[in-house]
A and B are shown apart, each in its own frame.
Chain A
Amino acid sequence: DAMVIQNPRYQVTQFGKPVTLSCSQTLNHNVMYWYQQKSSQAPKLLFHYYDKDFNNEADTPDNFQSRRPNTSFCFLDIRSPGLGDAAMYLCATSRKGPDNSPLHFGNGTRLTVT
């Protein structure tokens, strides 16, 4: 089945130690998104790629970066994780066109910072 896959499901990192989360898709969608969801809160958009064009949300900290080497893969890099960055990180995809498709989400990576 076509889907959005996030690995790993659970990630533990140390305070200040860089960490990378990965997302892959088989939907061939041209837009990929990264959301952050803290406990008991709604998902919050960090940034997205439309094809190779990177679009950062105004309030996304510089500590968060992203890479999209090809259509299928997108990475979230946290350069120096703090305790406040502990959250569920959700990857999503959609097709942008005359009729924008709904977003399809992966099951997320839960990041713990120790």
Chain B
Amino acid sequence: DAKTTQPTSMDCAEGRAANLPCNHSTISGNEYVYWYRQIHSQGPQYIIHGLKNNETNEMASLIITEDRKSSTLILPHATLRDTAVYYCIVRVVGGSNYKLTFGKGTLLTVNP
């Protein structure tokens, strides 16, 4: 899997949008960008994934740059329960290498 680079930590005020960046400059054409988060003492939770188009679901939006070398996860209205470690991961979909390899992630702290 291509490596990703994320800030170690970020803060966000409750009710504001949280924008979490990720660099994946060596991403291959068949690799998707996945986002997971892990709330303290729980298992990682899938958030969203995308290939090259922007994606939105009930949890978040994913913005991928046109050259696919970076992306941003957007939580539109952060709550205290969104405090977690957020992992940006690139992963082949549809191929034989389907494993998920975690990097260090970003600790997002949502403040009241």
Contacts and interface: CB of A to CB of B under 8 A. Distances in A.
Interface of A: 4, 31, 33, 42-45, 48, 90, 92, 94, 96-100, 102-108, 110
- Please tell me the size bucket of the interface on B: 20 to 34
B53 interface: no
Interface in B74-112: 87, 91-95, 98-105
A110 B95 CA distance: 32
Contact of B98 (A4, A31, A107, A108): A31
Contacts of A105: 43-45
B42 A103 contact: no
B44 A90 contact: yes
Interface of B: 34, 41-46, 49, 87, 91-95, 98-105
A92 to B, nearest CB: 8
B43 A102 contact: no
Which applies to chain B's interface (DSSP): helix, strand, loop or mixed?
A: loop
A45 B1 CA distance: 13
A42 B43 contact: no
B99 A45 contact: yes
A5 to B, nearest CB: 11
Instruction: From B41, B92, B103, name the one whose CB has the most chain A CB atoms within 10 angstroms.
Output: B41
Nearest to B103: A42
A108 B43 contact: yes
Contacts of B41: 107-108, 110
A33 B102 contact: no
A103 B43 CA distance: 11
B36 to A, nearest CB: 8
16 contacts: A4-B43, A42-B87, A42-B104, A45-B101, A48-B99, A90-B44, A92-B44, A97-B94, A100-B92, A100-B94, A102-B46, A102-B49, A105-B44, A108-B41, A108-B42, A108-B43
